[in-house]
Chains A and B, each alone.
Chain A
Amino acid sequence: MKERDESLADRDAAAAQLAALQADREALADRVLQPWWYDVLLGLLLFGFLASYAFDSLWVTFSALVLFGAGLGALVGVYRRLTGVWVSAGGRVMWVWSGLVVLVLVPALVLSQGFDQHWTTAVAGAVLGVAVALLSRRWGRAYVAELREGL
């Protein structure tokens, strides 16, 4: 009888601990989704950097690269300050993103550098800027849903 009571108590305690863990994940889910302007700024930063190639000037591209790096650093810093966490996208999202970059950027760079069609990098920047903003949003929502789904 005593063993049975202890076993029930163990089961209740374990269930309570699992419930507490899930409650924490839900509390985390409430705070981790990035604000909409984070995705917009991310897209604009990437567009600005890639579009700088259209000027065909090393100085413009170098300045844009510095701004791009500083902007990314500031975005990450703001996100971490707002949420207190950092989570990097991995797996499928990164494969999709890498594939898209190759598909869009390689032809644009070939046209830009090989055939003096420098405007193509601005178009590639616009396409990839929109894509990164949408992917970032989608990934953020998927992460929140995963946290809510349970352990």
Chain B
Amino acid sequence: MTAVAPRFDAVIHPPPRLQVCGLLAAVDTMDFAAVRDTVGVSDSVLSKHVKQLEEAGYVRVHKATRASRLRTSLALTNEGRAAFDAHVADLRRITGG
């Protein structure tokens, strides 16, 4: 396994966005509602953070109609995954872990 170079990422750093990236890093896709419930924020707050991650190219948003309901799912892009891994490596560097 290649070691990840630590790199602080200002887009990922704020706690809700770090949490969102952490959840998405562990899955292929996750429903917006499941992310919201796990992070413990409102729809509007999560939307705002997701928008910032999307603009940075870190998160991809997919909307689909399932059982006549619009469902939104989120996924990390390859770029987002790399940035998250580097940011976690930086947190580890700071803690000396």
Contacts and interface: CB of A to CB of B under 8 A. Distances in A.
Contacts, number: 66
A84 B37 CA distance: 10
A18 B6 CA distance: 14
Q: How large is the interface on B (under 10, 10 to 19, 20 to 34, 35 or more residues)?
A: 20 to 34
A147 B38 CA distance: 15
B86 interface: no
Contact of A87 (B28, B66, B88): B28
B94 A14 contact: yes
Nearest to B39: A24
B68 to A, nearest CB: 13
A17 B18 contact: yes
Contacts of A25: 22, 26
Interface string B30-70: 11011101110000000000000000000000000011000
Interface of A is mostly: helix
Contact of A24 (B38, B95, B96): B38
Nearest to A80: B31
Contact of A18 (B30, B66, B95): B95
26 contacts: A14-B92, A18-B95, A20-B15, A20-B22, A21-B88, A24-B19, A24-B22, A24-B39, A25-B22, A28-B26, A28-B38, A32-B27, A77-B66, A80-B31, A84-B30, A84-B37, A85-B27, A85-B29, A85-B34, A86-B27, A86-B29, A86-B30, A87-B27, A88-B28, A147-B26, A151-B22
Interface of A: 10-11, 14-15, 17-18, 20-21, 24-25, 27-28, 32, 77, 80, 83-88, 147, 151
